[in-house]
Structure 1
C-alpha cells in the first residue's frame, strides 16, 4: 500500500529566515522587526508556479501558529480568489498538543499529540497527498523523522540577519534531488526537491 506524500512549501531568505513573510505583525516573536519582507517579490511567475501546486489538490497539514493565522486571514475571507477558495474548501489537519478544538475554521481536523506520531499515522492512512505551508516547527520535526518527501523552496534574494530559520539547529543528513527550478522576474528562485534517501 502506498502512503501519502508530504510536500512542504517554504518562503525563505538567502540566510534561511522564514519568520514574518507576509505582514509586519505576522510573527514578532523574539523581537523580530523585519515582518512583511516577502510581498514585494511577488510576480506573475510566482503566481503561476504556486497555482500549479494548487491545481494538484490534496489536503493541508499545518502547525498550530500557522493554522491560527490562516484561520483569520483566509477563514474569514470571502471566496473571491482562487487562494481563499482553495484554503477554505481543503481539509486542513492542524497538529497541536494544546488546541482543544479546530472548529474555528471550516473543514479543519485536529491532530492532537506528538507531531511525528500523529502525522506518521495520517500519512499511512488512505487519502490525498498532504501539503505543508509555513509551519516551521512542524516542518523541522517531520524532517528529522524523514516524513517530508518533497520541498518547494521559494528563495528570496535578501538576508535579514535575524529571525527563525527553516532549520534552526542541526538537521539529519537527508539528500534531495532537484527536480525543477524557476526564477521569477524579481529574483526569487523556486526550487523543487524530492527526497532521494
Structure 2
C-alpha cells in the first residue's frame, strides 16, 4: 500500500482503472528481493487464496502466463476461494465461489485442516475479514509513495480496529515490511477533565 493507504493497481498501468485511476504500476519500481522473500515466507510452502472477484480476474489474466517462477507456481497451484456472483466463470483453477454467506464460508474454511488462507489485495474483502474477526495476521508492504486517491486498504464503512505490530523491517527500496496481528477494538482515550 502507499503511505496514504491506497492499494489500487500496484502491478501495472491497466490493472484497475476504476474511478479514473491513473497511477497503475506504482509499486513495481520499488520491488526488490527483500520484499519477495517476505512474501514467500508469509505464504509458506502451500497456501490457498481468498480473493475478491476483481483481484481474481486480475491475477487470472497474469499468473497463468508466468512460467519457471516459484511465486507463480504457488499462486497457480493454490485453491482460489472467490467472492463472486459468477462462480460458473472461474476458469483459473482450482477455484470455487464462496457463496452467499462469505463470512460463514471463510469461517468453515479456517476450521478445516489444510493450508493457510491468504488474501491478496481486495479493497472490499479485506475490510470485511477484519470486521468479521477472520484475520489472524496482516503483512503490509508500505511503499514510499503518496497517491492522493484510489481504493484504500481499509474502508471507512467498517469499525476501527487496533493492530499489534509483530515485526517490521525495511527493504533497500524504502518499502516497510510490517506484520500485524489484530488487537481488538480501537482503544478510546480517557474523557477530558
TM normalised by structure 1 equals 0.86
Establish whether residue 113 from structure 1 lines up as the match of residue 100 from structure 2: yes
Gaps of 5+ in 1: 1-11
Q: CA RMSD in A?
A: 1.6
SS at match of 2:51: strand
Q: Deviations over 1:95-140 (max 9, x none)?
A: 21333242x1121122222322322232233322211111221111
Residue in 2 aligned with 1:40?
29
Establish whether residue 122 from structure 1 lines up as the match of residue 109 from structure 2: yes
Moved more, 48-57 or 12-21: 48-57
How far the C-alpha of 1:56 sits from its partner, in A, is 4.3
Match of 2:131 among 101, 121, 144: 144
Residue in 2 aligned with 1:181?
168
SS at match of 1:100: helix
Residue in 2 aligned with 1:88?
76
Residue in 2 aligned with 1:155?
142
Match of 1:55 among 21, 44, 68: 44
TM normalised by structure 2 equals 0.88
Residue in 1 aligned with 2:121?
134
Any runs of at least 4 consecutive aligned residues in structure 1 with deviations exceeding 6 A, and if so which?
none
Gaps of 5+ in 2: 185-193
Number of corresponding residues = 184
In our comparison, the structure showing a higher alpha carbon Rg is: 2
